[in-house]
Amino acid sequence: SSELTQDPAVSVALGQTVRITCQGDSLRSYYASWYQQKPGQAPVLVIYGKNNRPSGIPDRFSGSSSGNTASLTITGAQAEDEADYYCNSRDSSGNPVFGGGTKLTVL
Amino acid sequence: EVQLVQSGAEVKKPGESLKISCKGSGYSFTSYWIGWVRQMPGKGLEWMGIIYPGDSDTRYSPSFQGQVTISADKSISTAYLQWSSLKASDTAMYYCARLVVTGSSTSFDPWGQGTLVTVSS
């Protein structure tokens, strides 16, 4: 079982804002990073650290954290944002751990 | 450009051995951990283990300890994941990724393209 918990599925209307959450005790000490994975493709880092986007990631993606919950927000979701999203941080031993993933549907 | 390129798809029989590779380029290979991640068909990402090519320090997820071996050859900037005796349940996509650790932030970037391993009799 994962030490990071995500909702299995979330939906958003085209152009609206959606928040994807990740819960875990380790998030009180470590930032989460977020990955987007489209069918048949490798995961891609979209958010890391406090709220940093790698080069090439649109600014509609943002990250935040409060207590034991990290959030990925997509402001103005686009059809191409439909994908699986995974959070990642460290577990109680300091080793990497992934959340179970959230399937985002853009309606 | 920082890049990880993995070896090609494999089809094996139960009981066979296998070693897949991940070659890094565009950065100092010995200065970053490399991680291996499993994704079974239709499932999520599972961290298997990490290796620091600079000194071959290796850490395994408890779920994979004893099941696989992670190694690296820093002279050719390549990390490896190997099995001594494959099982049908090892059928999955396997990704390598560079682990970037800065203070309280841990992230995998970039990722290799993945190696599909199919184990079937």
Contact B106 A31 (CB under 8 A): yes
pLDDT for residue B115 = 98
Contact B108 A96 (CB under 8 A): yes
The CB density around residue A79, as the number of other CB atoms within 10 Å, is: 9
A interface toward B at CB cutoff 8 Å?
2, 29-31, 33, 35, 37, 42-45, 48-50, 52, 54, 84, 86, 88-90, 95-101
Q: pLDDT tens, B82-100?
A: 999 999 999 999 999 999 9
- Cα angle B99, B103, B106 (rounded to 5 degrees) comes to 30
Half-sphere exposure of A15 (CA within 13 A, CB side): 0
pLDDT class of A93 with cuts at 50, 70, 90: confident
pLDDT for residue A28 = 93
Q: pLDDT tens, B28-85?
A: 999 999 999 999 999 999 999 999 999 999 999 999 999 999 999 999 999 999 999 9
Sign of CA dihedral B51, B42, A3, A33: positive
By Cβ distance, the residue of A42, A48, A88 closest to B95 is: A42
Sign of CA dihedral B108, B61, A99, A3: negative
Complete DSSP assignment for A8-64: SEEEE-TTS-EEEEEE-GGGGTS--EEEEE-TTS--EEEEBTTTB--TT--TTEEEE
pLDDT for residue A1 = 46
Nearest CA in chain B to A2: B46
Size of interface A-B (CB pairs under 8 A): 71
Task: Please give, rounded to a whole number of angstroms, the shortest distance from the CA of A87 to a CA of chain B.
Answer: 10
The CB density around residue A17, as the number of other CB atoms within 10 Å, is: 12
The CB density around residue B64, as the number of other CB atoms within 10 Å, is: 17
pLDDT class of A92 with cuts at 50, 70, 90: confident
The CB density around residue B11, as the number of other CB atoms within 10 Å, is: 11
Task: Please give, rounded to a whole number of angstroms, the shortest distance from the CA of B11 to a CA of chain A.
Answer: 18
pLDDT class of A2 with cuts at 50, 70, 90: low
pLDDT for residue B102 = 85
Half-sphere exposure of A48 (CA within 13 A, CB side): 19
Q: What are phi and psi of A101, to 5 degrees?
A: 95, 150
Contact A100 B99 (CB under 8 A): no
Integer Rg of chain B from CA: 14
Pairing of strands B92-102, B105-111: antiparallel
Element (H, E) at B52: strand B45-52
pLDDT at B21 over 50: yes
Which residues in chain A have Cβ-Cβ distances shorter than 8 Å to B112?
42
Which residues in chain A have Cβ-Cβ distances shorter than 8 Å to B44?
2, 84, 86, 98-101
CA gap B4, A4 in Å, rounded: 27
